[in-house]
Chains A and B, each alone.
Chain A
Amino acid sequence: MSSWIYIFGVLTIAALVIIIASGSVLGLKGPAWWHYTSVGHFFNSIHLCRSSCFLLHGHPPVGQVFMAAWRGGRSRTWMSGAITFLISIAAAFTGYVSQQNFDAQWIATQAKDGLNSTGIARSSTS
């Protein structure tokens, strides 16, 4: 048995491999490299592009819940994928504030305001 929609799962895994590889290089070289060199810019862009692909291709497998993908003892399979998707969103947001430039500072203050407004980060309200 086969189904074409599972190609999105394979694309998501492929994106994750590239994210980890490019992220490892970025982490080893440091912010001065990814901000001020052309090769660093390239790896930075690869990392951002594959992160977008990871979340984009992660949507259809999560949406398979509407195709009753939990049947036949597959509920844990779907739930593990859905939780992975949610955690990857958090990982992407922490990536935005890890850029170490003014963009990251701006996003951090906006995110702090947003979280404060929901009452999640009460200890840091001012």
Chain B
Amino acid sequence: MYTYHVLLLPVVVIALVSAHILLVRRTGIVPPLPLGELAIHAPAADPPGAGAPGRGMKRRRLSNAELNEAARHYDGPYKPTTDQGAVRRDRRRRVVGAASDDLSLLADDRPSTIAQWSRQMPVDFVTTAVSELDGSSGTAGYGRRTTTTATASRSHSSTCRSGLA
């Protein structure tokens, strides 16, 4: 057991860790997961009274294919330099096009807030709030009933009858 501990297992661990590090260096780290459910923001003109400049954002959704392609090539926010690696990354980003630009914006983007929504689209905000509060929206209730009071009482009485029999 002592030989296992001081020689055999350490040799195996060191060999595997070396292989692991080489594999990490060769393939690089894994890109972010697909962002299909994430809303991508693009700058939009601020409406009057929208608060500080840059807070007005227009939501736009990209397809899963676009997002996956952009994530594969995403290297972080764009920083113009003169080294060749940056030039190659820039070329790749141009190939990917608008999708990659959107992901670059995502890194420093501010979140959409309820206050922002209420300022920019007050009618939509109030309508949604009222429909949620009075239970008329599609998400406010408990969904469609699966049983009625009549069928529930029928099954209850039949159970009682069979129990008595």
Contact = CB atoms under 8 A, between A and B. Distances in A.
Contacts of B142: none
A108 to B, nearest CB: 8
Interface residues of B, number: 27
Nearest to A61: B20
Interface in A1-39: 1-3, 6, 9, 13, 16, 20, 23, 27
B2 A98 contact: yes
Interface stretch (B10-18, B117-125, B143-151): B10-18
B20 A1 contact: no
Contacts, number: 78
Given A1-B74, A77-B27, A97 B13 contact: no
B21 interface: yes
B130 interface: no
A91 B20 contact: no
Given A20-B14, A72-B31, 16 more contacts: A2-B29, A16-B13, A16-B14, A67-B30, A74-B27, A74-B30, A77-B20, A80-B16, A80-B20, A80-B23, A81-B20, A84-B20, A91-B9, A91-B10, A94-B1, A98-B5
Interface of B: 1-2, 4-6, 9-10, 12-14, 16-17, 19-21, 23-24, 27-31, 33, 72, 74-76
